[in-house]
Amino acid sequence: MANKPKPDELLSNINYKPPRTQWTDTPVEFKKGYYCYAGRPNNLEYISLPHGRKWSSTDDDWQLVDNWKEIFLEGMENLLKKFRSFRLFMDICVRCGACADKCHFFIGTGDPKNMPVLRAELLRSIYRRYFTISGKLGKIAGARDLTEDVFKELWYYSYQCTECRRCSVFCPYGIDTAEITMMARELINLLGCCTDWISGPLANCYRTGNHLGLQPHTIKSNFEYMVDDLEEFTGVRVEPTFNRKGAELLFVTPSADFFAEPGMFTCMGYLLLFHKLGLDYTWSTYASEGGNFGLFTSNEMMKRINSKIYAEAKRLGVKWILGGECGHMWRVLHQYMDTMNGPADFLEEPVSPITGTKFENAKSTKMVHITEFTADLIKNGKLKFDKSRNDHIIPTFHDSCNTSRGMGLFEEPRYVINSVCNQFHEMPENTIREQTFCCGSGSGLNAGEIEELRLLGGLPRANAVKYVKEKNGVNMLSCICAIDRAVLPPLVDYWVGDVDVCGVHELVGNALIMEEGEKREIDLRGEPLPGMEEKEEED
Ligand code: SF4
Ligand code: SF4
């Protein structure tokens, strides 16, 4: 962000005073730093989204097709028929306001239209107008005509929701505003208005299997760098295999784990762990992305993107699938994969080849989360750690929205961290586990052009980090999500300072004893381990 305001300046701009006009009479203002760039026509064409064109979200004329209203309303009718939850969420809100102050974007911006109840109302008012009898009464019944301005407003706020589901935890009716945003985005896509930061990675994924557009030879050479670094830091030479038919397991993780720091350090942790176990597994250069931007686009897109994981497992003839540290990959896998792309009857029910544990929870999807796998190894005494190698790290743990609210994975990461670190401090109770605060950049919002919005959306998360930094000296924010690993470093740097971000398996890799009596003087970041040289000499 050019001329980035100082944190104090940004804080002082937050204004919770509502406008004097009714929300329906308050026109949307497209604020710089708060709206995404429009998707490019070639990318939209590549992923078969209709009506791609050159346009900009700040244009007066969005060049919508002549019958855009008809397309939108027909699409809405289809979604209402297809998803009972959508109709229910359109009907049952009693406007109690319990969700109002629970959204990080409302807390960070003070914009009333970022209150979940009002965000949903943007679409609900259209629903009332065209799909209910009382809606014929118009404004008095909370109904609005679908005009271009109403559509623009819906677009603007649909990309100011990270689909994190925090609001749903507090709603007495369980209304999931994330799902309402998903429906709104699906309708937006019918008119060729997908954003650049979502449609670009999706097009890459169609082309190469991953959002970054990495081709097989690039993936392999990135691994060669990591393997060399690992050998230099640990003295251990690992030998990952790719696209190997007949391997027992397929391992799938976000592409950022083998492309960018700090994800690469997490990846080094996986590599060391699997080598130590002698695991019969393979990476795939085709199913080379766990993340699924289809989740932010449409149900059909999500299904298509996800299908490559089962397709690759079938092609390679593996027994089951192990999945890495990723956020929305796990929301898709846990909530939708089985019915969307399954049943995966060609796979076996997952059993750990090391401990013999049956992962009952993955009986149907045939896919196990890496922290469940590692926690089971630790519980069964299969791994030895030198926790003191992590003594320079005082971690806390950020529950990623998707793994916490999306799948209830609370204990395993904490159990693993506590097994490999001597110190650990939780952030305040109302900011973790089910009530965790979003990083502010999920669901396709990690776009550079909306950095100011993202910094404000991430403020509640950063604030909790600041609290444990000041109270407990925390210097590491650990997490199990690739988007978090990408967006939390600049967020924490801006609001907190001197706190790093890591994946849980980086901490595992640091502490893991590969051979009895081995010396480790450097951590997985290539940094000297404080005091370790002296300690090894004393030993
Ligand atoms: S908490 Fe639920 S019922 Fe209450 S206003 Fe929010 S969405 Fe509506
Ligand atoms: S899903 Fe998250 S981002 Fe969206 S309205 Fe609810 S709390 Fe806000």
pLDDT tens-digit map of 421-457: 999 999 999 999 999 999 999 999 999 999 999 999 9
Structure confidence at residue 467 (pLDDT):
98
Mean per-residue pLDDT over the chain, rounded = 95
**pLDDT band of 516, cuts 50, 70, 90:** confident
Has residue 537 got a pLDDT over 70? no
Tokens representing 152? 């623009």
Has residue 316 got a pLDDT over 80? yes
Comparing C-alpha atoms, which of 23, 31, 25 is closest to residue 1?
31
Tokens representing 177? 């505003």
- The residues near 140 (Cβ < 8 Å, ≥ 6 apart) are none
- CA–centroid distance for 11 within its chain: 26
177 in ligand 2 pocket by Cβ < 6 Å?
Answer: yes
- The residues near 280 (Cβ < 8 Å, ≥ 6 apart) are 247, 248, 249, 353
173 in ligand 1 pocket by Cβ < 6 Å?
Answer: yes
Q: 320-323 and 500-503: which strand pairing?
A: unpaired
Q: From ligand 2's centre to the CA of 97, what distance in Å?
A: 14
Structure confidence at residue 337 (pLDDT):
87
Cα-based distances in Å from 437 to 96, 203, 291: 22, 30, 20
The full length of the chain comes to 539
**pLDDT band of 160, cuts 50, 70, 90:** very high
Residue of 93, 102, 168 best suited for mutating to test ligand 1, as the one with most atoms within 8 Å of CB: 93
Q: Strands (DSSP E) along 382-494, which ranges?
A: 395-397, 476-479
363 in ligand 1 pocket by Cβ < 6 Å?
Answer: no
Q: From ligand 1's centre to the CA of 332, what distance in Å?
A: 25
Question: Could you give the residue ranges of the DSSP H alpha helices within 242-400?
Answer: 263-277, 299-316, 328-332, 338-341, 370-379
Structure confidence at residue 2 (pLDDT):
62
Has residue 328 got a pLDDT over 90? no
What residues does CATH 1.10.1060 cover in the chain?
Answer: 10-30+50-193
Q: 249-252 and 320-323: which strand pairing?
A: parallel
Between CA 524 and CA 105, with CA 263 as vertex, the angle to 5 degrees is: 135
Comparing C-alpha atoms, which of 513, 480, 508, 502 is closest to residue 421?
508
352-408 per-position pLDDT tens digit:
999 999 999 999 999 999 999 999 999 999 999 999 999 999 999 999 999 999 999
Torsional sign, CA 269, 272, 276, 282: positive
Comparing C-alpha atoms, which of 206, 190, 177, 114 is closest to residue 151?
190
User: What is the distance between the alpha carbons of residues 495 and 491, in angstroms, rounded to a whole number?
Assistant: 6
Structure confidence at residue 517 (pLDDT):
73
Structure confidence at residue 1 (pLDDT):
64
Q: What DSSP character marks residue 260?
A: S
Q: 367-369 and 395-397: which strand pairing?
A: unpaired
Q: What DSSP character marks residue 5?
A: P
Residue of 107, 160, 164 best suited for mutating to test ligand 2, as the one with most atoms within 8 Å of CB: 164
Tokens representing 286? 């085709």
User: What is the distance between the alpha carbons of residues 176 and 187, in angstroms, rounded to a whole number?
Assistant: 17
281 forms beta bridges with 249
91 in ligand 1 pocket by Cβ < 6 Å?
Answer: no
93 in ligand 1 pocket by Cβ < 6 Å?
Answer: yes
Has residue 269 got a pLDDT over 60? yes
Pick from 22-31, 185-194, 241-250, 511-520: least confident: 511-520
| Rounded percentage of the chain residues whose pLDDT exceeds 90 | 92
Has residue 287 got a pLDDT over 80? yes
Has residue 7 got a pLDDT over 90? yes
Structure confidence at residue 14 (pLDDT):
94
Has residue 243 got a pLDDT over 90? yes
Closest residue by CA, ligand 2 atom 7: 103
Could you give the 3-state DSSP secondary structure of residue 492?
Answer: helix
**pLDDT band of 6, cuts 50, 70, 90:** very high
**pLDDT band of 538, cuts 50, 70, 90:** low
Answering whether pTM is above 0.85, one says yes
Burial of 97 (0-12, 13-18, 19+ CB in 10 A): exposed
**pLDDT band of 534, cuts 50, 70, 90:** low
In DSSP notation, 220-255 reads HHHHHHHHHHHHHHHS------BS-TT-SEEEE--G
In DSSP notation, 202-226 reads HHHHHHHSSTT---HHHHHHHHHHH
Closest residue by CA, ligand 2 atom 3: 161
Q: From ligand 1's centre to the CA of 66, what distance in Å?
A: 35
- CA–centroid distance for 533 within its chain: 38
CATH assignment of 10-30+50-193? 1.10.1060
Has residue 535 got a pLDDT over 90? no
Could you give the 3-state DSSP secondary structure of residue 369?
Answer: strand
449-489 per-position pLDDT tens digit:
999 999 999 999 999 999 999 999 999 999 999 999 999 99
**pLDDT band of 531, cuts 50, 70, 90:** confident
Long-range contacts of 431-435 (CB under 8 A, 24+ apart): 431/460, 431/461, 431/464, 432/397, 432/398, 432/399, 432/464, 433/399, 433/404, 434/169, 434/404, 434/405, 434/410, 435/166, 435/169
180-203 core/surface letters (b: 16 or more CB in 10 A; e: else): bbbbbbbbbbbbbbbbbbbbbbbb
